[in-house]
Structure 1
Amino acid sequence: MAQLASLIRHPVKAIGYEPLDRVALTEGRALPFDRHWAVAHTAAKFEGQPTEWQRKMNFLRGVTGAELMAIAARTEDATGKVTFTHPKAAELTVDPMAEQQALIDWLTPLWPEDQPQPDRVVHVPGQAMTDWPDPFVSILGTGSLDALSDAAGTPMSPHRFRGNLWIEGWAPLEEFDLIGRTLRIGQAELEIRERITRCKATHANPETGQRDVDTMKILRDTWGHQDFGVYAIVTRSGEIAPGDEVTVL
């Protein structure tokens, strides 16, 4: 039996992973508060606050700044503030939009000096600042992660891949065979749409922020491509939680 092993969101694009106990999915929407904010850099191709989705090269990303991959996040339900931690920085608790300068100041020492610098926090109501404008939820298999870890010769953290839903009980890469199928998880249903092609952000260790595994090469050498995980669209609203059974419809 396959089941939901873990549930993760990333309140600020590329900055902080946050495990969840449960979440309510909404038809046609991304995971709630996943990539709710993003940090634009000084070379962003738009000014001020955008009114629509913007391309990923406008924002701070782990592919450019490996240290970002070691940031963890924790949202305070009572206040909506987010606490950020990193092994090389003091803990910071802020409202990412209202106190954005504090977040910018905290991020700057973790960002490469030779790159366009952190400039401002942005948010587009109703639009997750994901790599694609579609309201995708990413789904990955722990069996695939185990197989990749075996090929790498070292345990690979799921946080390298910034996924939302991790499914336990599938064979390695079984998720690729489910494209076009619908999953029922808890009360919700999601239709799997396409594979996720990976980038060098996955080379960084989420515990240290240092690049220590050539994930791209291992993917190519092991399976002949650079894909890992799949994108899905929520087709039926409902609450999900780790431990929920995953059924292929």
Structure 2
Amino acid sequence: MTGAITSIWRHPIKSHGRESLDDVTLIPGQTMPGDRVWAVAHEASKADGSEWVPCANFSRGAKAPQLMAISARLEGDTVTLSHPKQPDLSFDPDTQQDMFLNWVTPLMPADRAASARIIRAPGRGMTDSDFPSISLCNMASHRAVEQKLGQNLSINRWRGNIWFDGLPLWEEFDWPGRDIRIGETLLRVRERITRCLATTANPETGERDADTLGALRAWEHQDFGVYAEVIEGGKIEIGNKVEVI
């Protein structure tokens, strides 16, 4: 039984925008190129860019739902961010942080720690997992959540990297410990992804409008998608088969 890739996404700045891709070349042991290259540490964070740290150190959609409505474009060292309540911003995250902090401040709740600085993780993207991961998400599982809630949902609530269709719902939860062939690549699935309040916010408006976590608990879990590591690199593109080895 095989599925096929329906979309590919990267998130240049963790929790601050998504960008769709037609294809990408994966690298063994690395996150998706251009994905979570930067992260935004808040004023209570001890993150300094010297090592990977958990997501609680960063400004993110779970605490600031308006961040979920950001879209992004990465070109070279320049990131362009768009949001329905803000003018577009093009800047270099390494050298023009003040521009970004001024832009994002109106999107942050007053009762949360303010965004303070942009950092990189050495040699990897700042994924939520403590290993460089790529997330795989199942369209059938997404449709099941939509049906449970009785409303249409954007897949961007889940902030996944690789979306596939053609396989049964929750099929991906049988994959940890198994290898997946996609295009020229081989990925080893490591673990399920436990979800947070970020998924309750609408990626078009930044407003919380769906009890996604309640829907997931109907299946007696709070998980959606799986994390995998790249074992063999190469190019993947929309339409590639997704095959469990």
TM-score (norm 1): 0.95
Once the two structures are overlaid, the 10-residue window that deviates more, 124-133 or 95-104, is 124-133
- Tell me, yes or no, if the aligned pair for 1:27 and 1:236 is still in contact at 8 Å: yes
Q: What is the match of residue 130 of structure 1?
A: 127
Q: What is the match of residue 170 of structure 1?
A: 167
Partner Cα separation in structure 2 for residue 89 and residue 170 of structure 1: 39
1:4-39 deviation line (CA, Å, top 9, x unaligned): 111101000100011111111111111112110011
Letter paired with 1:5 = T
- Tell me, yes or no, if the aligned pair for 1:52 and 1:127 is still in contact at 8 Å: no
| Structure 2 residue matching 1:130: 3-state secondary structure | coil
Q: What is the match of residue 71 of structure 1?
A: 70
What is the Cα-based RMSD across aligned positions, in Å?
Answer: 1.1
- Tell me, yes or no, if the aligned pair for 2:7 and 2:238 is still in contact at 8 Å: yes
| Structure 2 residue matching 1:202: 3-state secondary structure | helix
Q: Aligned residues, how many?
A: 244
Unaligned runs of 5+ in 1: none
1:35 lines up with 2:36 in the alignment: yes
- The Cα of 1:113 is off from its aligned counterpart by 1.1
Q: What is the match of residue 85 of structure 1?
A: 82
- Tell me, yes or no, if the aligned pair for 2:49 and 2:122 is still in contact at 8 Å: no
1:239 to 209, 232, 235: 235
1:159 lines up with 2:156 in the alignment: yes
- Tell me, yes or no, if the aligned pair for 2:36 and 2:126 is still in contact at 8 Å: yes
Q: What is the match of residue 150 of structure 1?
A: 147
| Structure 1 residue matching 2:202: 3-state secondary structure | coil
- Tell me, yes or no, if the aligned pair for 1:11 and 1:35 is still in contact at 8 Å: yes
Partner Cα separation in structure 1 for residue 191 and residue 73 of structure 2: 29
1:172-197 deviation line (CA, Å, top 9, x unaligned): 11111222221111100101111111
| Structure 2 residue matching 1:146: 3-state secondary structure | helix
1:65-120 deviation line (CA, Å, top 9, x unaligned): 000000000112xx431110011110111111111111111100000111111111
Moved over 4 A (4+): none
Partner Cα separation in structure 1 for residue 152 and residue 168 of structure 2: 17
Letter paired with 2:238 = P
- Tell me, yes or no, if the aligned pair for 2:194 and 2:224 is still in contact at 8 Å: yes
- Tell me, yes or no, if the aligned pair for 2:216 and 2:222 is still in contact at 8 Å: yes
Percent identity, aligned pairs only, is 47
- The Cα of 1:125 is off from its aligned counterpart by 2.9
| Structure 1 residue matching 2:199: 3-state secondary structure | helix
